[in-house]
Copies of this chain bind each other. A is one copy, B any other.
Amino acid sequence: MLAKQLNLSTAAVSKALRDSHEISPTTKQRVLDLAAILNYIPHPYAGSLREKKSRTIAVVIPEVADSFFSLALNGIEAVAIEKGYHALIYLTHENQEREREILKDLESGRVDGVIMSVAMKTNTFEHIRLLHQAVPLVFFDRVCEEINTAKITTNDYECGYLATKHLIEAGCKKIVLLSVSESLSISSRRMQGYKQALLDHQMDETLCRVIDYNEDLTMNYDLLIELLKSKDRPDGIVATVSKMTTEIYLACMERGLNIPNDIKVVCFSNDSNAPIFNPSLTTITQPAFEMGKLAATILFKALKRNSMVLSDESAVIPSDLLIRASTAGLL
């Protein structure tokens, strides 16, 4: 290294920089001074290789242009920086194949741990299982039930129930659920809550309609238009996916339906602009930032004690129902 302008061994320099007792104060100072002048920074991968620790984690999420995931990423990054870790970001774009390629790479030892939220299209789990064998793994929000590790979720069942109950109490008789592929843990839990609420209030469960979220948003719009045209059109909508919001509002507008007078709407959403929508939107708002923070905290705790065992560290952080104008009044 450059610090051999001091006529020292690399070993001595390394020890000096790490403040070892084996090095004399005079020498330490000389090393420190030159290091400052030369702006010397140890190469991280050299140490990583030897220590078998990269001080890096991976965050694997479906999207980042999404309030929930960007807030969660924010929480994860905050903890990572604080703990001196680095965060690699990977986006699956809801695509299982992409997810598999990413996880495959992460088995290499590139990262010490992985925090992930599974893609919508994911319906087999072998790739996740393989990763889990190689590196500590924490799920958040969209978890994989089949894999025994820490899972940070929110109270999806209760929220599905609560959102539906809220619409029922507002007088809605025909409530549809807009959801995504049922293979997703959160979707099925939210749907269970929805169904149970209908059941508990003697309402027709057969109305339950699942519109599978499509990446092509115009398709969702078209499906919504169809739905609103049908002769028993819904008078209440529970959308478990926030990306549907714009299309719901626009479709209602197109069909001349007033929210909340003709139809009431609740969305699972973390959009901070919900209060200024037309009308302001009643939301189930998830603790996205906190979920990210907790997922990261749990992961780093496990890394510290050098354990792959994370099974007992699961946690549920409740969401809030924020009632606004889109569900106001009584039908």
- B residues less than 8 Å from A34 (CB atoms): none
The verdict on A272 contacting chain B, using a C-beta distance below 8 Å, is yes
Chain A interface main SS type:
mixed
A44-B130 CB under 8 A given contacts A273-B246, A276-B249:
no
Interface residue ranges of A289-326 to B (CB < 8 Å): none
- B residues less than 8 Å from A56 (CB atoms): 88
Counting contact residues on chain A (CB < 8 A from B), the size range is 35 or more
- Measured CB to CB, the closest approach of chain B to A55, in angstroms, equals 10
Q: Say which residue of B42, B67, B275 sits within 8 Å of A246 (CB atoms).
A: B275
Q: Is the CB of B110 within 8 A of A86?
A: yes
What's the Cα separation between A41 and B130 when bound, in Å? 12
Q: Is the CB of A44 within 8 A of B77?
A: no
- B residues less than 8 Å from A104 (CB atoms): 41
Looking at the complex, which of A19-27, A46-54, A226-234 is the stretch in contact with chain B? A46-54
Q: Say which residue of B49, B64, B250 sits within 8 Å of A64 (CB atoms).
A: B64
Give 18 CB contacts A-B under 8 Å.
A39-B130, A41-B105, A41-B107, A43-B49, A43-B108, A45-B49, A64-B70, A64-B74, A65-B71, A65-B74, A81-B91, A246-B276, A250-B275, A271-B273, A273-B273, A277-B277, A278-B278, A278-B279
